[in-house]
């Protein structure tokens, strides 16, 4: 007996009709009838009989259907376990990046990766560099797009250099030096900003360290009147004239055109 024959007989018994069973099995009714007839000839006993009330199983047929259901359930269980095993063996990649970099860079790269690895499962985790470094170190992530400095325990490949900007409100008389190389933004004279109120970032953010490094290089400690966590919030506060701030180029690019005009290039590439 073939497994397909068991499936035919169980399906016929379930529907009580050769015609309906054939439709469910996607075969013709004559082909289904011939398959059952051949098996009946092998057994030398009928499986179905026709009565006035419809199609009924013989005693032999009842045995076949009862045990056949268990066989089909076993087959389904084997297929399910194999499917789960194959999925577990599929390529799984975990990426991490700050939300802005996910939007601006990583999603484009991942779409190309998907073209090369259509069956791969991709897990994305957003977070900031310090948190993502910890996730890399404990094995929760395979790769992450993070800012320098890189812990010595991690292997890093430079992907791109990003400009940082000194952002000020549109009405702010920010001193500038010259036309800059980054999309025509002017270069800011940071040394003349020692009396300004800065919007800073919480400790641990790499962008906060850049702010401190740049202001110290310009010869002063910044007066930080407001602190926040992400660069999008800082950029919004700048626009509403709550102070000036250092923001990465990606944050300037992602804001609307009106707010982009409030951003002035800073004379440093990070």
How far from chain centre, in Å, is Cα 215? 37
Q: Quote the radius of gyration of the chain (alpha carbons, Å).
A: 34
Q: How far apart are CA 93 and CA 91, in angstroms?
A: 7
Residue 252 has a pLDDT of 67
Confidence of residue 267 (pLDDT cuts 50, 70, 90): very low
Average pLDDT, integer, range 211-237: 89
248: closest CA among 143, 146, 138, 132? 146
DSSP letters spanning 54-120:
EEEE-HHHHHHHHHHHHHHHHHHHHHHHHHHHHHHHS-EEEEEE-HHHIIIIIHHHHHHHHHH-TT-
Residue 256 has a pLDDT of 53
Residue 98 has pLDDT above 60, yes or no: yes
**Topology alike, domains 3-88 and 92-145:** no
Least confident interval from 71-75, 142-146, 151-155, 176-180: 176-180
Residue 34 has a pLDDT of 92
> What's the start-to-end Cα distance of the chain, in Å?
72
Confidence of residue 222 (pLDDT cuts 50, 70, 90): very high
% of the chain exceeding 90 in pLDDT: 33
% of the chain exceeding 70 in pLDDT: 86
- SS3 state of residue 153: coil
243: closest CA among 234, 254, 251? 234
At the topology level, CATH places domain 3-88 in Arc Repressor Mutant, subunit A (1.10.10)
220: closest CA among 244, 190, 188, 250? 190
User: What average pLDDT is seen over the chain?
Assistant: 82
Domain ranges of the chain: 3-88, 92-145, 163-269
At the topology level, CATH places domain 92-145 in D-Maltodextrin-Binding Protein; domain 2 (3.40.190)
- SS3 state of residue 212: helix
Compare 185 and 145 and report the one with higher pLDDT: 145
Architecture of domain 163-269: 3-Layer(aba) Sandwich (3.40)
Residues 5-61 have pLDDT tens digits of 999 999 999 999 999 999 999 999 999 999 999 999 998 999 999 888 888 999 999
Average pLDDT, integer, range 178-190: 66
Residue 270 has a pLDDT of 29
Cβ atoms 7, 25 nearer than 8 A = yes
Residue 125 has pLDDT above 80, yes or no: yes
Cβ atoms 226, 200 nearer than 8 A = yes
246: closest CA among 204, 202, 214, 203? 214
């Amino acid at each position: 007996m073939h497994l397909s024959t068991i499936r035919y007989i169980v399906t016929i018994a379930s529907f009580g009709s050769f015609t309906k069973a054939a439709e469910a099995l996607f075969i013709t009714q004559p082909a289904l009838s011939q398959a059952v007839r051949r098996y009946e000839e092998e057994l030398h006993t009928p499986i179905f009989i026709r009565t006035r009330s419809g199609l009924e199983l013989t005693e032999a047929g009842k045995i076949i259907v009862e045990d056949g259901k268990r066989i089909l359930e076993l087959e389904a269980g084997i297929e399910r376990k194999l499917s789960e095993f194959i999925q577990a063996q599929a390529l799984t990649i975990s990426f991490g990046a700050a939300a802005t970099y996910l939007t601006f860079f990583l999603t484009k790269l991942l779409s190309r990766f998907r073209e090369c690895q259509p069956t791969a499962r991709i897990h994305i985790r957003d977070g900031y560099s310090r948190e993502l470094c910890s996730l890399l170190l404990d094995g929760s992530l395979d790769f992450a797009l993070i800012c320098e400095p890189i812990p010595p325990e991690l292997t890093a490949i430079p992907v791109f250099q990003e400009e940082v900007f000194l952002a000020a409100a549109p009405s702010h008389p920010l001193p500038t030096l010259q036309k800059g190389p980054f999309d025509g933004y002017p270069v800011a004279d940071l040394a003349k900003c020692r009396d300004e109120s800065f919007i800073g970032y919480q400790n641990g953010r790499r962008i906060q360290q850049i702010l401190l490094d740049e202001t110290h290089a310009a010869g002063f400690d910044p007066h930080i009147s407001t602190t926040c966590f992400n660069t999008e919030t800082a950029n919004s506060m700048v626009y509403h004239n709550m102070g000036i701030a250092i923001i990465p180029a990606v944050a300037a690019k992602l804001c609307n055109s009106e707010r982009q005009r409030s951003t002035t290039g800073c004379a440093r590439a990070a």
